[in-house]
Structure 1
Amino acid sequence: MEVAGQARAHVARLDLTAAQVAVLDGQAHTARALWNLLHEYCTFRQGRLASVKDCDAAIRQARREIDWIGRLPAQAAQAVLRTYRQAWANYFNPGHPAKRPGFKGRFRSRMAVDVPQGRDLNIARLNRRWGAVNLPKVGRVRFRWTRDLPGVTRGGPAGRITGARLVKDAFGWQIVFRAERRVPAPVAHRGEQVGIDRGITVALALSDGTTRDHGEWLTSGEKERLRRLEKKSARQRRARTPGRPTSTRLARTYDRIARLRATAKRRAVDWQHQTTTTELARTFGVVVVEDLTITNMVRSATGTIDQPGRNVRQKAGLNRAITGQAWGRTPCWSTRPVIAAGWW
């Protein structure tokens, strides 16, 4: 028996021209600016938060009066409003860890554009390696075909594409398809129970005596390249005139550093996904994870002027090691077995 409604995401790389990249960059900056305008409109009203009707009317009026807001498609603008209202709903929910919504900075926020309607995408497969998709105000764009999408290819998985989100990272623009798939009805997992202890020298130590470890996220050559790029960026920052915009060479150095760090993160996420979601979730019926307050464990030991900290450099190295292992992300992907916290 199959059940419907299981949400899945599929990420694919877009093959864009320079003109299409410029269009998507403009849409993403407009979406960020629209978020900031909504936040100012809602938080500066006296006594109450603006309603959805008021915000929608303000967006429509802004699209008529301000030319550059028209670069963002109307449905993407409505998606910004929905995301903003959901951020407030999460903040007011006592059981949700979300913080109070705030303004989005140009260099501190991820560039993204929503395509809420799946029917507007008109996805088609061109050949074994590439597919094509329609993007609003961008046109027909190729994307890297690595997996069959539900409801697109004949004989592929059952389901449908409900929408997409365009996200820019260090490697360029990616498209994240939101898929609704029909999957087999879940059954009870009859595997054994196991406890996991997260560490630094050994990534995962299981209660059955086995361990799960990984190699370095970057090779020796990549580490040396990263070290040289960081020294180069430090020299370029010292030569930069205060108050002047970042030079093209410094921006290029930052991009190279970001790509190397993104490569390390992708390898770490891939290892964690294969280890937790794939191996451990299929092997064991119950996975018990120790309850650690990681945010407190990685706090700085610098202290204050009146009470300076001790062993600050050693504590900073420990914090980097904990952050590099991504303890908070490792148990969160084991979604198939029952996860229990507070082990030993």
Structure 2
Amino acid sequence: MLRRQAYKFRIEPTGEQQRKLRQFAGACRFVFNKALAVQQVNREEGGKYIGYVAMAKYLTAWRNGDETPWLKDAPVHPLQHALKDLDRAYQNFFAQRADFPRFKKRGQRDSFRYPDPKQIKLDQGNSRINLPKLGWLRYRNSRQVLGTLKNVTVSLSAGHWYVSIQTEREVAVPLHAAPLAVGIDLGVVRFATLWDGERETVLEPLNTFARHQHRLAKAQRQMARKTKFSSNWKKAKARVQRIQRQIANARADYLHKATTAISKSHALVIVEDLQVASMTRSASGTAEQPGSRVRQKAGLNRSILDQGWGEFRRQLDYKLAWRGGWLVAVPPQNTSRTCPCCGHVSADNRQTQARFECVGCGYENNADVVGAINILRAGHARLAESANAE
């Protein structure tokens, strides 16, 4: 079994290396935006989509031209990978998996990638890594990097630079040590309600954003009062970024601990196939047809996004695969409206957000527990159908 894994470390660049890191990230952003502009002009003129191979010739002309000779100062492979990122964005748009590609802005997700492992040297004993045109970079070595190095991504987050080292290695096909199944109902009041057929387990929400919302709003107001791009504005912006990073780190830590515990104790995990993007769509509407209860919907959207349901499912997927388990997604319709005792389906069964009382047989329980029970049963039914089909 081939396992691909990424190891992320914070690096400690020198002043000259920081200048080059920003220069390389800016060059990749410039190439991405310029290529996107070329694609848009070509489309307006009725031309066909320009693929990566043809677009790479534009990059050669830009690097050798008189207008942008400074592109030669950046390593060529990250520039080429910026074109591949644009090509992938277009393919996702054509397949209706994402919106139309947008121009990148300075200071937002600055990053670039070295795709050729032959140009990268990793010295774990001395906690350093050598990257083209940057030299040796010190990094905070917190764990051993296992496997064959495939590529390295350098990114900027809240004023700090990081390297993400992707590796791959062959491992034995795992056999899960705990062959148990569990159904998981996700929510806002309760982050996750687990049902394994005998008992329930509740994971309380961390509500990271809600806990820091007022502090973040205060920092954003202070930044708004500063003259844009002044020294004080840059300090205020750094403060906002630090708070946002703290929120993201706390959420990621909570999700990793929860998904690791679940993947270790259960071989089969069944979740709802939630469409988070659709669930959190704005209710503001248009000028001709304005929405209703916009503030309430905005608050609900914030609460849903604060939980990190999509990241929770993503982590469960790969962690279960690493341990020999399976993740099954079932349709979410009526999971908390169906009586697990008599099977009666009705919106009246759910009296409140937390209370479930069947109008058919009188069965009572917590609505989230009922949802987890039905999710577990739906997962077993789907697996049985797949087995019969084979």
TM tier, smaller: 0.7 to 0.9
Aligned to 1:210, the other structure's residue is in SS state: strand
Number of the residue aligned with 2:273 = 291
Instruction: Call closer, same or farther: CA 1:316–1:57 in 2, change over 3 Å.
Output: closer
Cα distance, 1:204 vs structure 2: 0.6
Cα distance, 1:111 vs structure 2: 0.7
Number of the residue aligned with 1:58 = 58
Aligned to 1:20, the other structure's residue is in SS state: helix
- Unaligned 5+ residue runs, structure 1? 151-158
For residues 61 and 225 of structure 2, the distance between their equivalents in structure 1, rounded to whole angstroms, comes to 47
- Picking from 331, 351, 357, the partner of 1:342 is 331
Number of the residue aligned with 1:193 = 181
Deviations 1:2-53 (A, max 9, x none): x3x3211000001012221111101101101101122233343342122444
Aligned to 2:88, the other structure's residue is in SS state: helix
Judge which range, 304-313 or 81-90, deviates more.
Answer: 304-313
- Picking from 177, 190, 209, the partner of 2:165 is 177
Residues 179 and 267 in structure 2, CA contact (< 8 A), matched pair in contact too: yes
Alignment of 1:171-250 (within 5 A): 171-187=159-175, 191-207=179-195, 208-215=199-206, 217=208, 225-236=215-226, 240=227, 245-250=228-233
Cα distance, 1:188 vs structure 2: 6.1
For residues 87 and 283 of structure 2, the distance between their equivalents in structure 1, rounded to whole angstroms, comes to 37
Deviations 1:269-318 (A, max 9, x none): 12112212x11122222222123332333233334455544433333222
What TM-score do you get using the length of structure 1 for normalisation? 0.83
Residue correspondences, number: 318
**1:252 correspondence with 2:235:** yes
Instruction: Call closer, same or farther: CA 1:54–1:228 in 2, change over 3 Å.
Output: closer
Aligned to 1:249, the other structure's residue is in SS state: helix
Number of the residue aligned with 1:156 = none
Alignment of 1:120-159 (within 5 A): 120-127=119-126, 131-150=127-146, 159=147
Aligned to 1:339, the other structure's residue is in SS state: strand
Aligned to 2:31, the other structure's residue is in SS state: helix
Cα distance, 1:88 vs structure 2: 2.6
Instruction: Call closer, same or farther: CA 1:302–1:168 in 2, change over 3 Å.
Output: same
Judge which range, 186-195 or 326-335, deviates more.
Answer: 186-195
Number of the residue aligned with 2:313 = 331
Deviations 1:224-248 (A, max 9, x none): 6535423322433xxx4xxxx5322
Aligned to 1:25, the other structure's residue is in SS state: helix
Residues 214 and 271 in structure 1, CA contact (< 8 A), matched pair in contact too: no
Deviations 1:101-139 (A, max 9, x none): 3322335x4111111122322111345xxx111122222
More helix by share: 2
Number of the residue aligned with 2:89 = 87
**1:316 correspondence with 2:298:** yes
For residues 49 and 290 of structure 2, the distance between their equivalents in structure 1, rounded to whole angstroms, comes to 43
What percentage of aligned pairs have identical amino acids? 27
Residues 208 and 247 in structure 2, CA contact (< 8 A), matched pair in contact too: yes
Cα distance, 1:216 vs structure 2: 5.2
Cα distance, 1:202 vs structure 2: 1.4
Aligned to 1:164, the other structure's residue is in SS state: strand
For residues 12 and 82 of structure 1, the distance between their equivalents in structure 2, rounded to whole angstroms, comes to 25
For residues 105 and 172 of structure 1, the distance between their equivalents in structure 2, rounded to whole angstroms, comes to 18
Deviations 1:122-158 (A, max 9, x none): 111345xxx11112222211111111112xxxxxxxx
Residues 7 and 178 in structure 1, CA contact (< 8 A), matched pair in contact too: yes
- Picking from 261, 268, 271, the partner of 1:279 is 261
Q: Which one has the largest radius of gyration? A: 2
Judge which range, 72-81 or 224-233, deviates more.
Answer: 224-233
Number of the residue aligned with 2:47 = 47
Residues 233 and 250 in structure 1, CA contact (< 8 A), matched pair in contact too: yes
Number of the residue aligned with 1:12 = 9
For residues 31 and 79 of structure 2, the distance between their equivalents in structure 1, rounded to whole angstroms, comes to 8
Number of the residue aligned with 1:302 = 284
For residues 90 and 316 of structure 1, the distance between their equivalents in structure 2, rounded to whole angstroms, comes to 28
Residue type at the aligned position of 2:183: G
Instruction: Call closer, same or farther: CA 1:319–1:53 in 2, change over 3 Å.
Output: closer
- Unaligned 5+ residue runs, structure 2? 321-325, 336-390
Cα distance, 1:326 vs structure 2: 1.7
Residue type at the aligned position of 1:212: L
Aligned to 1:123, the other structure's residue is in SS state: strand
Instruction: Call closer, same or farther: CA 1:121–1:298 in 2, change over 3 Å.
Output: same
Number of the residue aligned with 2:35 = 38
Aligned to 1:321, the other structure's residue is in SS state: helix
Number of the residue aligned with 2:247 = 264
Cα distance, 1:200 vs structure 2: 1.4
Residues 43 and 49 in structure 1, CA contact (< 8 A), matched pair in contact too: no
Aligned to 1:211, the other structure's residue is in SS state: strand
**CA-based RMSD:** 2.5
Residue type at the aligned position of 2:327: V
Number of the residue aligned with 1:112 = 111
Instruction: Call closer, same or farther: CA 1:210–1:307 in 2, change over 3 Å.
Output: same
